[in-house]
């Protein structure tokens, strides 16, 4: 069957219970080829369950899951899917190169060892023992194993949990490199800034249901956006309302209060097309507030 045009993921009406716990409740979303999608939600929202189901590690109670046009089991068996899961260690005594060589060998050399090392940012660490790596380096080694078969689709389950800011940045820059080569990426996270910065789309899960699905700025706007305050000489309400993202304008003398669904664009345009901006402040709903509002069903 030619399934090269099928979406990377079709997840339709999926429910999963563990005894009395309802982990997923008719959850649905799709992931297009080449897209990077964040599954965002608090602890227990159902993210890992969704990832396990997409990898065929568990079976849904109801619903339908297709991965690259196939059942999850077939997709994984075809070697076209890579994964970095929360569990799973590395052989401490082996070097980075040994681990990567083994992974590349298991996939019949679809991706050369040197390319895999360099994509994962490990070229300079190839001779290091896996047990001597920092947290960020060992996540990059697990990532190298995940991309060794040149997968068309990558699943990353909370890959940067417990990493510091620098290590997280390093990790995401290597993921970008793999995504730039055309792989679709699905990652679970409760780091809101990561979803905002690295995903084309964010699927927000709350108590097993999808409560929002859209671009990061759409998800933020759903929860009411942010407030941008500043001082301007002679503010013009019509020009301010025409700025990108602005939904509402209030003016008190020289003080301006804008409600916006995209604070970054609004602030940029304030400086470039209005000018004379003083005492600028941005407050209110970031993705964090959006998530809280969406999770409790209190969206605007
Ligand atoms: N093997 C299991 N047995 C029983 N309950 C489970 C099991 N795995 C998950 N759960 C429960 O299912 C719900 C969803 O868990 P899941 O791990 O999918 O959420 P998550 O969003 O990945 O959370 P986290 O961010 O903490 O990893 C939670 O209430 C969890 O306690």
Report mean pLDDT in 10-residue bins for the chain, 300 residues: 80 97 96 95 91 96 97 94 86 92 91 94 95 91 93 94 84 87 91 85 91 81 75 94 90 89 89 91 68 58
Predicted local confidence at residue 300, as pLDDT: 41
Show the tokens assigned to 280. 């600028």
Domains in the chain with CATH codes: 9-219 (3.40.50.300), 226-284 (3.30.70)
Ligand 1: residue whose CA is nearest its atom 24: 43
Q: Whose CA is nearest to atom 4 of ligand 1?
A: 18
Whose Cα sits closest to atom 25 in ligand 1? 43
Taking a C-beta distance cutoff of 8 angstroms, is the pair 102, 36 a contact?
no
The percent of the chain in helix, strand and coil, each rounded to the nearest 5, is: 35, 30, 35
Q: How high is the pLDDT of residue 118?
A: 92
Strand ranges inside the chain, DSSP E: 9-18, 21-31, 36-40, 62-67, 81-84, 153-157, 184-189, 201-206, 209-214, 226-231, 246-252, 255-260, 278-284
Q: Which of 48, 51, 191 to mutate to test the pocket of ligand 1 (most atoms within 8 A of CB)?
A: 48
At 3 the pLDDT is 66
Q: Which residue puts its alpha carbon closest to atom 11 of ligand 1? A: 23
Contact (CB, 8 A) for 25 and 49: no
- Predicted pLDDT at 288: 63
Across 68-162, the runs of DSSP E, i.e. the strands, are 81-84, 153-157
Tokens of 12: 């339709």
Give the pLDDT confidence score for residue 93 in this predicted structure. 85
Counting atoms of ligand 1 from 1, which one is nearest the CA of 39? 21
Pull the structure tokens for residue 167: 């290590």
**Of ligand 1's atoms, which has the minimum distance to the CA of residue 188?**
22
Q: Is the CB of 43 under 6 A from ligand 1?
A: yes
Tokens standing for residue 224: 């009411």
* Sign of the C-alpha dihedral computed for residues 229, 235, 241 and 242 taken in this order: negative
Nearest CA to ligand 1 atom 30: 44
Q: What's the sign of the alpha-carbon dihedral 4, 9, 15, 21? A: positive
Structure confidence at residue 224 (pLDDT): 60
Can you say how many angstroms the Cα of residue 24 is from the centroid of all Cα atoms in its chain? Answer: 19
pTM: 0.78
For atom 29 of ligand 1, the residue with the nearest CA is: 44
Distance in angstroms (rounded) separating the CA atoms of residues 98 and 110: 17
Q: Is 23 in the pocket of ligand 1 (CB under 6 A)?
A: yes
| Separation of first and last alpha carbons in the chain | 45
Question: Are the CB atoms for 37 and 186 separated by under 8 Å?
Answer: yes
For ligand 1, is residue 47 a contact (CB within 6 Å)? yes
């Amino acid at each position: 069957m030619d399934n090269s045009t099928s979406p990377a993921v079709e997840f339709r009406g999926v429910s999963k219970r563990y005894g009395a716990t309802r982990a997923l409740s008719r959850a649905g979303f799709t992931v297009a080829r080449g897209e990077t999608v964040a599954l965002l939600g608090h602890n227990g929202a159902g993210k890992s369950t969704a990832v396990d189901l997409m990898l065929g590690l568990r079976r849904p109670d109801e619903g339908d899951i297709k991965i690259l046009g196939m059942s999850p089991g077939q997709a994984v068996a075809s070697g076209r899917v890579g994964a970095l899961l929360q569990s799973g260690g590395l052989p401490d005594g082996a070097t980075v190169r040994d681990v990567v060589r083994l992974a590349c060998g298991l996939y019949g050399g679809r991706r050369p060892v040197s390319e895999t090392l360099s994509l994962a940012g490990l070229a300079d660490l190839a001779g290091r023992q896996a047990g001597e790596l920092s947290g960020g380096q060992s996540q990059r080694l697990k990532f190298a194993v995940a991309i060794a078969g040149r997968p068309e689709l990558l699943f990353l389950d909370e890959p940067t949990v417990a990493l510091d800011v620098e290590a997280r940045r390093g990790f995401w820059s290597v993921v970008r490199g793999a995504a730039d080569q055309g792989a679709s990426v699905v990652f679970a996270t409760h780091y809101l800034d990561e979803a905002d910065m690295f995903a084309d789309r964010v699927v927000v899960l709350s108590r097993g249901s999808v409560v929002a699905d859209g671009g990061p700025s759409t998800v933020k706007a759903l929860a009411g956006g942010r407030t941008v305050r500043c001082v301007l000489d002679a503010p013009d309400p019509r020009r301010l309302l025409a700025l990108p993202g602005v939904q509402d304008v209030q003016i008190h003398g020289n003080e301006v209060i804008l409600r916006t669904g995209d604070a970054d664009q609004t602030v940029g345009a304030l400086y470039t097309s209005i000018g004379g901006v003083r005492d600028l402040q941005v407050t209110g709903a970031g993705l964090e507030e959006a998530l809280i509002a969406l999770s409790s069903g209190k969206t605007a």
